[in-house]
Amino acid sequence: MSKFYSISVMNGYAFILYLENKNKNLTILDDEEIELSELPSFIKNKKNLYINLQQKFEFSENIQVPVAIATSRNVKNYLLYKIKESNSEIDVLFNFHKLPKQNDEEYISYNVDVLDEKAYLDALDFVDDFSKIKSSTTSKFALLSLANQCITQNFYICVYTTAKIIIILAVENKELIFSRTIIVEPSSAETMQMDITEQITQTISYINNQFRDIQFKTLVLSGSIALDDVIPQHIMMFNNVEISVLYPNTFVQNIDAEESQTYILPLGTLFLPKSNQFLPKVVLGIRQFNITALLSLIASSILLCFMFYFTFNAYEKYSELSDKNQLLSAKYAQVRAQAKILPQKELSRYANHIYMVNKYFKNTPADELKLLEPLVNMSKPIKFEYKDKDGQIDFKVDFEKKFTKLINLYKFGEEFNNRFNDINSSIKIDKSVVIDYKTLTYKVQIHTVNKNDNRTRVKARRL
Amino acid sequence: MMKISFIVVNTVLAIFLYFLSIWYEQQDIQIQQINKKYISDTRKLKEVKKIDDWLNENVKSTLMQIPKSAQTADIDLIHFFDTYAKEYSFQVEKFVYKDETAHFLDIKYSISRDNYNKLLKFMKQKYQGGYLFIKSFTIEKTLLNGELTVVQPYPVKNKKTIERDLEDVPQ
C-alpha cells in the first residue's frame, strides 16, 4: 500500500491528498479541493482511503469504571452500557482513553468520545465500497494525531480554524483531555477576527479553570489562523502563552508551509493511532470478511500447491509404472510369440513317450556287457544271465580260463582283480573266485549285489 | 468477489486434484498387479520355451507313431511276432495284454550264439511302432535265449484336447 488518498470532509467540501509512502517518507503526489457532491465520482475507482469527517453529533465525557473491570473488552462493554444509559435511542460509535491522572483508587477514569453511528454512516455515504476505507475518524482526532506527531511538550492547547469552524483541543501527555468544536457565524466580515479571538480566548480560559493543576504554556495553531497575523497577537496578549504553528512540511515532502495549513486534517488522518479511529460495525465486518477471505485464499492456494505437488508425484509414479508396463507387455508379447503352449493331448503323448523310454530303455543287456567289457576282453564268459525285474537289474556272469603255466594264472588273476575293482567302483557287483591249481583253472562268477542278498563275500578258494 | 471466486476455484481444483491423485494411486495398484503378472507369465513362458526346445531336440524325433485304433495296435504286435518268429525262434509267452498306456506281447526267443551276424542283428532289433523290452537275456554254451516284451503304446481314448493356458503351467 504505497499510494493512498487522505480525505477530509468539512463544510460541504472535501480536501483530498494523493500521497505515496516510500521508505517511510510521505510525498504528496496530488491535492484536490472539491465539492462534496463530486466526491463519490472522484473516489469511484480509487482505493486505500483515509477519511476524517466533521460530525455534528459528537460529544465527549468522562466515565468512571470500577477497578474490578480489568479486561479491555469488559471495559468497553461497561462504557457502552453507561453511554446507552443516557443515549438509549441511538446506536453509538465511541472510542475511549484512560485519563493520564487518576484520583480515585476504586475507579479508573476514561475519556469517551461518542458519535451517532447512523449519522456517521450517512456522512460516509459517498464511499461506494466500505472495504476501501483503511482509516476513518473525526476532524478533532485527525488534528490531535498531527499535533502529537509535531509537538513534544507534555501539555499544550491546539487550535485549528477554517472560515467557519474552530477546533480547540487540550492535550496532556498526548491524551485528549478536552475538546471543543465551535461553528463561527460572524455577524460581519469586520467582526470575524474579533469573534474568533474571543471564542479562542474564552475556551482557553475555560480550560485553565477546569485543569488548574496543569499549566498550558504552549498554544499550537494550525489552519487559517496559522496564516493570520492579527489573531495570534491578540490571543498572546490575552492569554500569556507561547505560540507554535504546525508545520507538517518538515516530514511531508512536496508541500509548502502555507499550503500545508489547508491540508492539516487530511495529513493528520495519516498518523491516526488505531485507538482514535471510528470504524462502524459494517466496515469492521467487511474488513474481517476481507481478512478471512484473504486467509482462506492463502490457505486454499497452499492447499492447491500441496495437491499439485502430490498429484504431480502420483502422476510421475503412474507414468513410470505405465512405461514399465509397456516394456513388460512388449517383452511378454515377444516371449509369447516364441513359446508354444502344447495342448494336453500332445503333452500326454510326450510324457507317455518319456515314461516308456525311461522304463524300457533304461537298462539293456548291452549296457551291462559294455560295462564288463574289460573283463570280457580278458576271457570270454561261459555263461551270462541278465534279468530285469521291474527296473531291478540282476545279472550273473561266469568266467573260466585254463592255463599251462602258473605264472600266467597268477598274472591273470591279478589283472582280473584289478579290472574288477575298477568296474566295481561304478556299479555294485561282487565276485566269487575258484582257482584250481591242479588243473591251473581260474573260475570266477560275477553277480550284482542285491539289497536282500545275504551272501557273504567268498574269498578265492584254493582247491 | 474476486477473492471468493479464487477461493472457490482453488478449492474445487484442490478437491479435483485430490481425487485425481487417488485415481492415480488406484491405477498404480492395478498396473503393479498387471506388471507382476507379466513378469510371472514371462518367466513361465521362458520355461515353456526351454521345455519346447528340449522336446524338439530330444523327444520329437524319437516320438512313436501311435496307431489310430487298439485293433491296429494288436495287429502290429502280431505282425512283428510273425515277421521274426522263425529268425529268432519266437514263442508266445503271454499273448496281448494291456494297461492304461500300452499293449504288450511277451515273447521267448532263442538264437544260436555261433551266428554272430544274427546275434548282432537281434541286439539292434527295433520295433517300429513301440519298444522292445528285454526282460531276460542268457548266454550259455552255444545258445542265447531269454524273454522280451513288445510294447505297443496305446491310442488315448475319450480324451478331448484341452487347450492349456499359462495358469496351468506350474511356477
Residues B51 and B81 in one domain: no
Residue A58 burial (CB count, 10 A): 22
Residue A309 burial (CB count, 10 A): 12
Residues B30 and B81 in one domain: no
- Predicted pLDDT at A454: 44
Chain A contacts of B41, Cβ < 8 Å? 332
Q: What's CA A285's distance to the chain center, in Å? A: 26
Distance from the B100 Cα atom to the nearest Cα atom in chain A, whole angstroms: 11
**Residue B65 falls inside a structural domain:** no
Looking only at the bridges linking them, the beta strands covering A392-402 and B131-140 are unpaired
Range list of H helices, A31-171: 39-42, 72-86, 117-123, 139-150
Cell of B6: 479464487
pLDDT over threshold 50, residue A30: yes
Confidence of residue B117 (pLDDT cuts 50, 70, 90): confident
**Residue B169 falls inside a structural domain:** no
- Predicted pLDDT at A453: 47
**Residue B167 falls inside a structural domain:** no
Residues B56 and B105 in one domain: no
Residues B146 and B109 in one domain: yes
Instruction: Quote the ipTM score.
Output: 0.73
**Residue B29 falls inside a structural domain:** yes
Does the CB of A314 have a partner CB in chain B at under 8 Å? Answer: yes
> A114-155 pLDDT, tens per residue?
989 888 888 888 888 888 888 999 999 999 999 998 888 889
Distance from the B103 Cα atom to the nearest Cα atom in chain A, whole angstroms: 12
Point out the domain boundary residue: B11, B39, B60: B60
> A48-65 pLDDT, tens per residue?
899 999 887 788 888 889
**Where in the sequence is the domain holding B11, given as residue range(s)?**
2-60
Residues B122 and B144 in one domain: yes
Which class for A189: exposed (0-12), middle (13-18), buried (19 or more C-beta within 10 A)? exposed
CA-derived radius of gyration, chain B? 34
Residues B74 and B146 in one domain: yes
A 317-376 near B (Cβ less than 8 A) = 317-318, 321-322, 324-325, 328-329, 331-332, 335-336, 338-345, 347-350, 352-357, 359-361, 364-366
Residues B52 and B83 in one domain: no
**Residue B75 falls inside a structural domain:** yes
Confidence of residue B170 (pLDDT cuts 50, 70, 90): low
Confidence of residue A216 (pLDDT cuts 50, 70, 90): confident
Q: Is the pTM of this model over 0.80?
A: no
Residues B55 and B109 in one domain: no
Residue A447 to residue A280: CA distance in whole angstroms: 123
The SS3 of residue B46 is helix
Residues B93 and B41 in one domain: no
Residue % of chain A over a pLDDT of 90: 28
Residues B91 and B36 in one domain: no
> A295-339 pLDDT, tens per residue?
999 999 999 999 999 999 999 999 999 999 999 999 999 999 988
Residues B7 and B53 in one domain: yes
**Residue B107 falls inside a structural domain:** yes
Residues B76 and B38 in one domain: no
Confidence of residue A1 (pLDDT cuts 50, 70, 90): low
**Residue B46 falls inside a structural domain:** yes
The tally of domains found in chain B comes to 2
DSSP state, residue B113: T
Confidence of residue B18 (pLDDT cuts 50, 70, 90): very high
Domains along chain A? 1-135 (3.30.420.380), 364-462 (3.30.980)
If residue A416 lies in a helix (H) or strand (E), which one and from where to where?
Answer: helix A406-424
Q: What DSSP letter does each residue of A287-356 carry, written as one string?
A: HHHHHHHHHHHHHHHHHHHHHHHHHHHHHHHHHHHHHHHHHHHHHHHHHHHH-----HHHHHHHHHHHHH
**Residue B44 falls inside a structural domain:** yes
